Structure 1
Amino acid sequence: MRTNVKQHLSTLRTNTVAATGAFAAVGAAAVLFATTLPSAAEEAAPLVGSPVGWAAENGGTTGGEGGETVRVTDGGALADALEQDGPAVIEVEGSIGLSGMNDVASDKTVLGVGSDAEITGGGLNISGSSNVIVQNIAFSGWDDDAINVQEGSTNIWIDHNSFTNGYDGATDVKRESDYVTISWNHYFDHEKTALLGHSDDHTEDVGHLRVSYHHNFFDGTGSRHPRVRFADQVHVFNNYYRGNAEYGVASTMDAGVIVEGNYFEGVDNPTHVGYADSEPGRLVERDNVYDGSGEPEAAGSVPEVPYSYTLDGADSIPGIVSGGAGPGNL
């Protein structure tokens, strides 16, 4: 695993000072020593950490831990690396253009380098895969979905990314996928953010789609934060909703959704029970703040989630989330 960045930088400074002193004493030998130190670029990829919520269950989510690390700077290299068998940490450097949906194999970490890694034009298709992490990347202008989790994919963690100005869903989870955490992402200037459940007719989703959404910033986006079918239990906690035109959370088709400790600001319809032609779901709301927002809808009961987590006070969520969500905030 990558060492702690602060610790490594401290070691780097110490070694650099030692190298400078050695240069005065032994000349060229010190130059050789200094050139073996890690470069600034090699230190730019952040730590991955570990998820909270459903992605920590079912054996946990570690991505490409233990595999090789490869750094990519163009779309062809990224698409090739995503499809390779075996664990790998794929470091995305700079702006990379993709088109369409690009398959992601199991046991991968897709990790943005520094604060300016971005994927434009296309998206990631996590289909029938397990143990995948996507972190610290700005997604924009995708021509289908930005990230599509489907076909029974399990243990997926989508963390500290941003999503804006795409065609369809930003982070969709459907078709019997399970054990997913979506955390610390910034969604803005986009309509459809987080679909959970394929359609009213896809009853195969019953018993699956366990997803945790926490500390995400739904910043002026329109709908689907998330829009849920069949899933049980879905845990939506400590998110910041601001100016969402259509609605915040919708529970339909007997889904079970817990909405707690969130801050809704200027949201006329913070929660729905049932939506459009979909039958009602179950929704428990508690400890939320509704600042200039409408009354929430709630109905039925939902079992408590089996994992441990720390709930921040809802009053503090705007500051915590607006300052911490998105790329570059690890």
Structure 2
Amino acid sequence: MRLRRLTAVVAGVALVAVLPPSAAVAGGNNDSDRLSWGARSLGRQVLPADDGWGAAGDGTTGGSVASQEHIHVVDSRAGLIDALGGDNATNRNNDTPKIIYVKGVINGFEGPDGSRLTCDDLADPEYDFDEFLVTYDPAVWGWENDPSGPLEDARRRSVTNQTRYTQINVGANTTIVGLHGARFENLTLMVDSVRNVIVRNVLFDDAYDCFPAWSPDDGDAGNWNSQYDLMSVRRSENVWVDHNTFTDGDNPDSAQPIYFGRPLQVHDGALDITHTASLVTVSYNKFDGRDKVMLIGSSNTVGPDVGRLNVTLHHNIFDGSLQRLPRIRFGQVDVYNNYYKLSGDAFEYAVGVGVQAAPYLENNAFRLGSGLDTADLLHDWGGTVLTEKGSWVAQGRRPLRPASLLDAYNAAYDPDLGSDAGWTPTLRHGPVLPAPLVPGYTTLTAGAGKLPA
């Protein structure tokens, strides 16, 4: 009887999550007059009151008050840029309220005539990757200094060329909603130095870097590093990222070739929140099979980030990801009711506790593959404390059981992490589920395609 009641609760809460609340229905231009009621309603929805840090301050309303002339349906890179303001270089300065519905696949390598560009098309004439490998081979160049000189300069110019195409800049007061099957492919959605942005129901796929950088002094054996995230939030406030899926698709990092003894890294983060960004809510997303997922704070330098980087993560799924789930610096980061499905020899850690970080972890569920240990779910990146309660952990197909990530970590590693982050979250919309209900509930509700669009 009790199991039936719990199942009914999960199903009932899931139904509430996917049904939109009452919302004003807009008219529109382009194809917007043919949108379903559900899609129109999603465009007008705002982040509910108290729904995480994104609800602080003035709250997050995106483009919900957009007039009819600023409601768009787009199905191409050119159409997306036009709806965002008309000029990708300056669109971040466009603060006109706007609602943009994404239809089908939008690819960042779309050229001016609609044709698909290649890495060779974007490479500087003086850049040659084979020559790069010969010139900067550590056996020749050494391990102490980063590459420099004409060939590295040409690589950097190539990165600038790619950024011009594949980085799409978003202005303030914008709502982006994916219609059924919507996908951002091979692009970075950049939210930089703006306020009040909503992004929902989009599949983000494979923002690969044609021209990765080689850093011989990064770690003990050097590393290749990529320029591009699937989505990046920088120097911005009041952002809501909801019901999206982030993936590398059929181009995972695990499939990349080895150069200089290290895998070629063509991806950076899935959703990075950095450079003094704050007041962000990340809810009901799925992060699927990625290496680096979410970096909150990009530098250990004590300065502008202090008092910033306040982020809420709730009801997300981290499936097969390896690290940064998230990695935190400085911020008060509320992590509750998330589902972690973790496996593989390359797994590194789930939550990274960085400099002056104040994570608050509550009622999260962890399912661990063979060889993974509860003690390795946390990692000390220079932090000292976190609050953790209500975690449940399972190995393989065994049932979830209560477990303390913090106790397991402290028993295995020194120095210990303290148990009090020094704050208690107050911005939570709706009940916090018991951790055993989280896997079923998030499986039903998290990710792109779960909203009625």
Deviation at 1:72, TM superposition (A): 0.6
Closer, same or farther: CA 155–6 of 1 in aligned 2, 3 Å: closer
Give runs of aligned pairs for residues 38-77 of structure 1, distance below 5 A. Answer: 39=34, 44=39, 47=42, 48-51=45-48, 52-67=51-66, 68-77=70-79
Q: Distance in 2 between matches of 1:240 and 1:148?
A: 22
Given the superposition, is the C-alpha separation of residues 5 and 132 from structure 1 closer, same or farther in structure 2, using an over 3 Å criterion?
closer
Matched residue, 2:418: 299
Partner SS, residue 322 of structure 1: helix
Q: C-alpha displacement at 1:228, in angstroms? A: 0.3
Structural RMSD (CA): 2.3
Shift in CA distance, 46/223, structure 1 to aligned 2, threshold 3 Å: farther
Structure 2 counterpart of 1:320 = 441
User: 1:32-68: per-residue Cα shift (whole Å, max 9, x none)?
Assistant: xxxxxx6466754562452411111111100001112
Question: 1: CA distance between counterparts of 2:364 and 2:443?
Answer: 13
**1:239 matches 2:338:** yes
Judging changes above 3 Å, is the alpha-carbon distance between structure 1 residues 319 and 280 closer, same or farther for their aligned structure 2 residues? same
Whether 2:362 is the aligned partner of 1:253: answer no
What residue number does 1:21 align with? none
Larger CA deviation: 195-204 vs 90-99: 195-204
SS of 1:96's partner is strand
Q: In the comparison of the two structures, how many residue pairs are matched?
A: 292
Please say which of residues 308-317 and 179-188 is displaced more in the overlay.
308-317
1:164-195 CA-to-partner distances (Å, cap 9, x unmatched) read: 01711111001111100001001112111111
- Quote the Cα distance in structure 2 between the aligned partners of 1:196 and 1:43: 33
CA distance in 2, matches of 1:5, 1:205: 35
Structure 1 stretches lacking a partner, 5+ long = 9-37
1:193 equivalent in alignment to 2:203: no
Aligned-pair CA distance for 1:100 = 2.5
Distance 2:444 2:385 in 1: 32
In structure 2, distance between residues paired with 1:117 and 1:315:
32
Task: Give the Cα–Cα distance (whole angstroms) in 1 for the partners of residues 365 and 79 of structure 2.
Answer: 40
Letter in 1 for 2:292: K
The letter for the 1-side match of 2:327 is R
Q: Does 1:154 align with 2:154?
A: no
Q: How does 1:154-173 map to 2 (within 5 A)?
A: 154-165=237-248, 167-173=267-273
Normalising by structure 2, what TM-score? 0.61
Q: What pairs with 1:83-162 in structure 2 (closer than 5 Å)? A: 83=91, 84-98=94-108, 99-114=165-180, 116-143=181-208, 144-151=228-235, 153-162=236-245
Distance in 2 of aligned mates of 1:40 and 1:154: 30
Mapping 1:199-278, distance limit 5 Å: 199-201=299-301, 203-231=303-331, 233-244=332-343, 245-266=347-368, 268=373, 269=375, 271-275=377-381
TM-score when normalising by structure 1? 0.82
Contact between 1:55 and 1:155, CA under 8 Å: does it hold in 2?
Answer: yes
Amino acid at match of 2:391: N
- Is the Cα–Cα contact under 8 Å of residues 98 and 173 in structure 2 kept in the other structure? yes
How big is each residue's C-alpha offset from its partner over 1:57-89, in whole Å with a ceiling of 9 and x where there is no partner? 111100001112111110011123222440000
CA distance in 1, matches of 2:182, 2:316: 19
Gap change, CA 1:6 and 1:217, over 3 Å in 2: closer
Distance 1:291 1:196 in 2: 27
Runs of 4+ displaced beyond 4 Å: 4-8, 40-46
Q: Which runs of 5+ in 2 are unaligned?
A: 1-18, 24-32, 85-90, 109-164, 209-227, 253-266, 397-402, 407-416
Determine if the alignment matches structure 1 residue 181 to structure 2 residue 181.
no
1 or 2, which has the higher strand percentage? 1
Deviation, 1:274, is 1.4
Deviates more, 1:71-80 or 1:178-187: 71-80
- In 2, the alpha carbon distance for the partners of 1:172 and 1:66 equals 27
C-alpha displacement of 1:247: 1.2
2-structure distance, mates of 1:224, 1:121: 21
SS in 2 for 1:241: strand
Residue 5 of structure 1 deviates from its aligned partner by: 7.3
Higher relative contact order (CA 8 A, sep 6+): 2
Q: 8 Å contact 2:189–2:230 — kept in the other structure?
A: yes
1:274-293 superposed matches below 5 A = 274-275=380-381, 279-292=382-395
1:26 corresponds to which residue? Answer: none
Q: Percent identity?
A: 33
Q: CA shift at 1:101, angstroms? A: 1.6
Structure 1 or 2: larger helix share?
2
C-alpha distance in 1, partners of 2:350/2:376?
5
